[in-house]
A = this chain, B = another copy of it.
Amino acid sequence: MYEGAVQDLIDELGLLPGIGPKSAQRIAFHVLGADSADVTRLAQTLQRVKEQVRFCRICFNVASEELCRVCRDARRNESVICVVEEPKDVIAIEKTREFRGKYHVLGGAINPLDGVGPDNLRIRELMQRLAEGTVTELIIATDPNTEGEATATYLALLVKPMGLTVSRLASGLPVGGDLEFADEVTLGRAFEGRRTLDV
């Protein structure tokens, strides 16, 4: 055990995700040796995030104003909504530059083991957006794992009566990957989703 504030900092850092006791100790000693101005800036940024950042009133992406950058952008296609689990998924999709519609961030996926049901996600808010009638297509981009698939199926059944086009991102071999190293589920999906080559 260290004295006073050092141990407090190690304890506090250890509460962050992915930071074990050894990393917490390493970071605490880095902080001890770091420039005071740098540490102050980190401390202030931590508090500023809590004060300034909120979730977009429409899509629940992170935002610094009432609406996020995507919802503020009038050039984005209002008729397509891409449903994702987390704000970081929005960033990943934005990087592809393939999608020019709007988003809806659920805040997670259905996971009964962790006690996350449909009511814990922003599904009601999605249904309200769809009820407005502007949206014609829904792209479900939840994670390709059990929880993401369950959420996708749940959503697809829920919006079925509304007559929208509902799609799910393709599963298959990662580009640049090696076929022999693909797991059997992915390879099975790649077969299932095979596409005719129009040459």
Question: Could you list which residues of chain A lie within 8 angstroms of chain B, going by C-beta atoms?
Answer: 1-6, 8-9, 12-13, 15-19, 23, 25-32, 34, 36, 38-50, 52-53, 62-64, 68-69, 86-88, 91
The answer to whether A49 and B62 have CB atoms under 8 Å apart is no
The answer to whether A16 and B6 have CB atoms under 8 Å apart is no
Counting every copy of the chain, the complex holds 2
**Given the complex, which residues of B lie within 8 Å of A1, measured CB to CB?**
91
Apart from A5-B64, A6-B49, A39-B50, what are 17 other A-B pairs with CB-CB below 8 Å? A2-B62, A2-B91, A3-B63, A3-B68, A4-B53, A4-B64, A5-B45, A5-B49, A5-B52, A5-B53, A6-B53, A9-B45, A9-B49, A17-B27, A28-B49, A29-B86, A32-B49
The answer to whether B39 and A47 have CB atoms under 8 Å apart is yes
Which of A5, A25, A30, A86 is the most central at the interface, judged by chain B CB atoms within 10 Å of its CB? A5
In whole angstroms, what is the CA distance A170 to B189 when docked? Answer: 56
